[in-house]
Amino acid sequence: MKPSFEDLKSELKRQRIGLSVQRLKILAYLAEHLDHPTVDQIYTALITEIPSLSKTTVYNTLSVLQDAGLVRPLQIDEHETRYDIEIETHGHFKCASCGTIYNFSLDPNVMQKIDLPAFQIMDKTVYFKGICPDCLSNKK
Amino acid sequence: MKPSFEDLKSELKRQRIGLSVQRLKILAYLAEHLDHPTVDQIYTALITEIPSLSKTTVYNTLSVLQDAGLVRPLQIDEHETRYDIEIETHGHFKCASCGTIYNFSLDPNVMQKIDLPAFQIMDKTVYFKGICPDCLSNKK
DNA sequence: GTTCCTGCAAAAGCTTTGCAGAAGA
DNA sequence: TCTTCTGCAAAGCTTTTGCAGGAAC
């Protein structure tokens, strides 16, 4: 269930955020690549299309998109931040062998059961680590 | 349920890991402070006791303890890594207002329900964000 | 003509690496 | 003595900041 780029675009418009070429390309890239790209990956992918692009702009844009609630940062093992288009709540699984980060859906009923009465919860993150099916079968 | 420092110490011995003053102090600090200290916090706390201590040693030691399975790194919002003594599975809650990171216990029955059939899961991390009771009452 | 946006350069902050000397067995 | 451990200094990386030039309205 890919988020529609058009929806994301109109959300930017609604929030009166300028639709520069750079911002649109970065947003489009995120909408198409749901594999949690890093700043560097986004930059490297777009530098051919926008030769003048700078990493600062990628950082700036991601910050804007984050404030707008369109993308969310992902803090996984590494020291670099990965980014996710904001879609319905899902968990992440990182394979310790190949490094791939998978999405998986979270049963809302189960998630609701994890609750902290006196706390006001704004966000629930679930992150698993292990070996993915591909790497499991390769080991045989 | 604080982990016993003695148990941790004998675990180090069992794994034939040298019990230097630095390592023991750092381990003791972690066993006493379950509030997920950063490298800098550990360093600052111990520099008075061990004036020669260097941050490199703190990094080295944490890496050794991590490999030994005694502590686990915590990747929360910030760019710096926090450390946790390895105790039974628990979740973390970070208050967006005061920044405190709380531990909370996870119901093993509920956690078991979150499963990925084809994946071999080695570790499950749960991390919530929101406002803690203290900050909620202060806002009144 | 303002305001907003980009991107270079430099700085900042956390972490790692290389290595020499100290400590310990 | 031989191995392990410490800690200084420097480097490495990601991310942030300052700011000037450019684009857009």
As given in the structure block, the two tokens for residue B64 are 């050794």
In which element (H, E) is residue B72 found?
strand B71-74
Q: Give the SS3 label for residue B48.
A: coil
Q: Which residue has the higher pLDDT, A2 or B71?
A: B71
**Cβ burial B62-98 (10 Å sphere, 16+ → b, else e):** bebbeebebbeebbbeeeebbbbbbeeeebbbbbeee
Question: How far is residue B56 CA from its own chain's centroid?
Answer: 18
Q: Which residue has the higher pLDDT, A16 or B87?
A: A16
B42 has a pLDDT exceeding 70: yes
Q: Is the CB of B17 under 7 A from strand D?
A: yes
Beta-carbon separation of B107 and A128 below 8 A: no
Q: Which nucleotides of C are covered by protein (CB under 7 A)?
A: 4-9, 13-18, 24
Residue B125 dihedral angles phi and psi, to the nearest 5°: -115, 135
Q: What is the CATH number of domain B5-83?
A: 1.10.10.10
Q: What is the pLDDT of residue A140?
A: 53
As given in the structure block, the two tokens for residue B76 are 């929360």
Please write the tens of the pLDDT for every residue from A40-98. 999 999 999 999 999 999 999 999 999 999 999 998 878 899 999 977 778 999 998 88
Same fold, A5-83 and A89-139: no
Residues in chain B within 8 Å Cβ distance of A125: 125-129
Residues in chain A within 8 Å Cβ distance of B116: 93, 104, 128
Give residue limits of the domains in chain B.
5-83, 89-139
d(CA A30, CA A33): 5
- Probe site for chain A from B94, B101, B116 (most A CB atoms < 10 A): B116
Q: What is the pLDDT of residue B112?
A: 84
Neighbours of A34 (CB within 10 A): 16
May I ask the CATH class of domain B89-139? alpha beta
Q: State the alpha helices, DSSP H only, in A1-140.
A: 5-14, 21-32, 39-46, 55-67, 108-113, 133-138
Beta-carbon separation of A129 and B110 below 8 A: no
Distance A3 CA to C19 C1' (A): 52
B140 has a pLDDT exceeding 60: no
Q: Which residue has the higher pLDDT, B78 or A14?
A: A14
Q: Which nucleotides of D are covered by protein (CB under 7 A)?
A: 4-9, 13-18, 24
Percent of chain B predicted with pLDDT > 70: 96
B21 has a pLDDT exceeding 80: yes
As given in the structure block, the two tokens for residue B53 are 């201590």
Please write the tens of the pLDDT for every residue from B80-106. 999 999 777 789 999 988 889 999 988
Helices (H) and strands (E) in chain A, counts: 6, 5
